[in-house]
Amino acid sequence: MKYLGQLAKLFAILAGLLLVFITLMTVASVIGRDFFGRAITGDFELSAAACGAAIGLFLPWCQYKRGNIIVDFFTAKASPRTQGLLDRAGALILGVIMAVLTWRTALGGMSAFEANSGTMMLGFPEWIVYGAIAPGLGLTALIAIAQAFAAQAPEQDEANPELAV
């Protein structure tokens, strides 16, 4: 699990770098438009592509840290054992869904590649975006499935320093 966490952290760092790129590009485009009368052509397309990739790359870290929103209104009074079982079931369901999304995203990327599909203004290849999103979805699936079958309860993960990344 520790290696999955380290990989998730690396993905999150890459996602952060993508967001820095988007920010710098947007600032440059706004300055160019306001002061020089010329914006960066297709900046919104690149922003959309990079945001999609960043979201996919942030997902594993969120799952590793169990940062997803949990509605515990109905389970707040349940025993810790029941809550743990429900958390594991939720992680397993999420893992299966993420695995299916990984598969479908990979197929979508291959389809976009075969069709030579690109964005409207720049013709930026759409398969690249699919290719950037799929690994994050796949890693999220692996982490969720590992959490579902882990020997420790979720509360113990946070207190266990050897799992810290």
Per-residue pLDDT tens over the stretch 118-152: 988 899 999 999 999 999 999 999 999 999 998 66
For residues 144 and 122, what is the distance between their CA atoms, to the nearest angstrom?
37
- pTM for this entry: 0.84
Report which of residues 82 and 159 the model is more confident about: 82
Report which of residues 76 and 15 the model is more confident about: 15
Q: What percent of the chain has pLDDT over 70?
A: 91
Three-state DSSP state, 124: coil
pLDDT greater than 60 at residue 112: yes
Q: Which of 1-5, 54-58, 94-98, 159-163 is predicted with the least confidence, judged by mean pLDDT? A: 159-163
**Residue 25: exposed, middle, or buried by beta-carbon count in 10 A (0-12, 13-18, 19+)?**
middle
pLDDT band at 154 (very low <50, low <70, confident <90, very high): very low
